[in-house]
């Protein structure tokens, strides 16, 4: 394997990993505070993509803007939709179950995930309904950048890839600042450590939980838009695998740790790309390449749970009974 190929794989992995990391933040923040695996987060991610697409499809002026100028408007639509749904789900479905046996909210989350996925596939309102037939499982067109890739010393970097890396870095820096420096961010840390004491100290824990859901949803919407831009299409079931991968990233980095989510995402993305890339290099293992990519990601998850269950950046926390 040449250095160029290796660097190309690492670059692709970092782009993929930045997206995983953005989604993983949602899992890890919610888990850190209320110990719930929010299975529906993959669907929140998917809704972010469709929110952006809806804005693009329903507002003809946006279509005439250069894509880079249209993106903030689309992003606004995506963030709005996914945050609304995430906060609504927390309010209606999860909050009444606080204090119930653990299985209850987990099953609710799965129900919500199935429901949101089906609702989008059945009822997504697209302009000129007949053209984009509803209820079909076909992916939908997403606008994408024209223009070729950048060449960085032999390594190709697509425009959308560059945007993903930039957005990922900006979002994570903003999040790190928010969690470490703002009042609300510190309230969030306090709630994650001990919700009861946090409440006694005058922190509105309900509000903190809502904010955690909202931030996770907003970052997932950013990730969904970059995914749409990179592949030129989004589909109603893209949240399933993306959610699984992002959760793997969150566990890899140490669930509950916001920085861990990003590190885990990057490590997972690079590992995934390298494993398939390296396997594809050799004749004997070539057939285990791209088609098996997801399998290697989950095998990595199982290995991490076996060897270092607290994750890369996680510390061993005592079980909260």
Residues that bind other proteins (CB under 8 A): 35, 37, 39, 93, 96-97, 99-108, 110-119, 122, 135, 240-241, 244, 247-248, 251, 287-289, 291-292, 294-295, 298-299, 301-303, 305-306, 309, 319, 321
- Given a contact cutoff of 8 angstroms between Cβ atoms, the answer to whether 236 and 116 are in contact is no
Q: Which is nearer to other proteins, 117 or 205 (CB)?
A: 117
Q: Which is nearer to other proteins, 40 or 167 (CB)?
A: 40
d(CA 233, CA 220): 16
Angle at 40 between CA 37 and CA 46, to 5 degrees: 135
d(CA 310, CA 313): 8
At its nearest, how many Å lie between other proteins and the CB of residue 26? Answer: 14
At its nearest, how many Å lie between other proteins and the CB of residue 28? Answer: 13
- Given a contact cutoff of 8 angstroms between Cβ atoms, the answer to whether 264 and 21 are in contact is yes
CB atoms within 10 A of CB 48: 35
- Given a contact cutoff of 8 angstroms between Cβ atoms, the answer to whether 86 and 214 are in contact is yes
* Residue 241: closest CA among 12, 84, 41, 13: 41
At its nearest, how many Å lie between other proteins and the CB of residue 210? Answer: 18
Q: Can you tell me which residue has the tokens 């885990």?
A: 264
- Outline where DSSP puts E strands in the chain: 140-141, 150-152, 155-157, 233-234
- Given a contact cutoff of 8 angstroms between Cβ atoms, the answer to whether 102 and 320 are in contact is no
Q: Which is nearer to other proteins, 106 or 149 (CB)?
A: 106
At its nearest, how many Å lie between other proteins and the CB of residue 127? Answer: 22
Q: Which is nearer to other proteins, 117 or 164 (CB)?
A: 117
CB atoms within 10 A of CB 272: 23
- Given a contact cutoff of 8 angstroms between Cβ atoms, the answer to whether 23 and 240 are in contact is no
Q: Which is nearer to other proteins, 102 or 207 (CB)?
A: 102
Q: Which is nearer to other proteins, 251 or 261 (CB)?
A: 251
**Residue 61, CA distances (Å) to 55, 56, 66, 79 in order:** 10, 9, 10, 20
- Given a contact cutoff of 8 angstroms between Cβ atoms, the answer to whether 171 and 258 are in contact is no
At its nearest, how many Å lie between other proteins and the CB of residue 112? Answer: 6
At its nearest, how many Å lie between other proteins and the CB of residue 239? Answer: 12
Helix (H/G/I), strand (E/B), else coil: 119: helix
At its nearest, how many Å lie between other proteins and the CB of residue 280? Answer: 11
Q: Which is nearer to other proteins, 16 or 155 (CB)?
A: 16
d(CA 164, CA 144): 13
- In the chain the first and final C-alpha atoms are separated, in Å, by 50
Q: Which is nearer to other proteins, 26 or 105 (CB)?
A: 105
Q: Which is nearer to other proteins, 117 or 158 (CB)?
A: 117
At its nearest, how many Å lie between other proteins and the CB of residue 123? Answer: 9
At its nearest, how many Å lie between other proteins and the CB of residue 46? Answer: 14
């Amino acid at each position: 394997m040449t250095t160029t190929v290796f660097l190309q794989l690492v670059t692709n992995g970092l782009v993929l990993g930045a997206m995983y990391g953005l989604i993983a933040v949602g899992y890890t923040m919610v888990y850190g505070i209320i110990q719930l695996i929010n299975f529906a987060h993959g669907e929140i991610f998917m809704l972010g993509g469709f929110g952006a697409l809806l804005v693009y499809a329903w507002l003809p002026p946006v279509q005439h803007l250069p894509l880079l100028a249209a993106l903030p408007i689309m992003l606004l639509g995506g963030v709005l939709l996914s945050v609304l749904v995430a906060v609504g789900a927390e309010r209606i479905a999860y909050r009444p179950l606080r204090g119930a046996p653990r299985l209850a909210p987990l099953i609710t989350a799965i129900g919500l995930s199935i429901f949101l996925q089906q609702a989008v596939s059945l009822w997504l309102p697209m302009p000129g309904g007949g053209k984009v037939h509803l209820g079909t499982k076909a992916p939908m067109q997403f606008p994408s950048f024209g223009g070729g890739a950048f060449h960085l010393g032999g390594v190709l970097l697509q425009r959308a890839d560059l945007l993903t890396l930039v957005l990922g870095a900006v979002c994570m820096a903003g999040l790190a600042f928010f969690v470490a420096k703002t009042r609300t961010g510190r309230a969030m840390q306090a709630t994650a450590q001990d919700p009861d004491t946090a409440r006694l100290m005058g922190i509105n824990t309900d509000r903190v939980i809502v904010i955690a859901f909202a931030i996770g949803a907003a970052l997932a919407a950013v990730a969904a838009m970059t995914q749409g831009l990179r592949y030129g299409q989004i589909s109603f079931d893209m949240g399933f695998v993306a959610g699984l991968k992002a959760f793997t990233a969150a566990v890899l980095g140490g669930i509950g740790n916001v920085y861990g989510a990003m590190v885990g995402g990057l490590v997972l993305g690079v590992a995934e790309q390298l494993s398939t890339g390296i396997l594809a290099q050799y004749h004997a293992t070539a057939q285990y390449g791209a088609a098996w990519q997801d399998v290697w990601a989950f095998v990595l998850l199982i290995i991490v749970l076996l060897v270092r269950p607290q994750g890369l950046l996680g510390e061993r926390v005592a079980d909260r009974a």
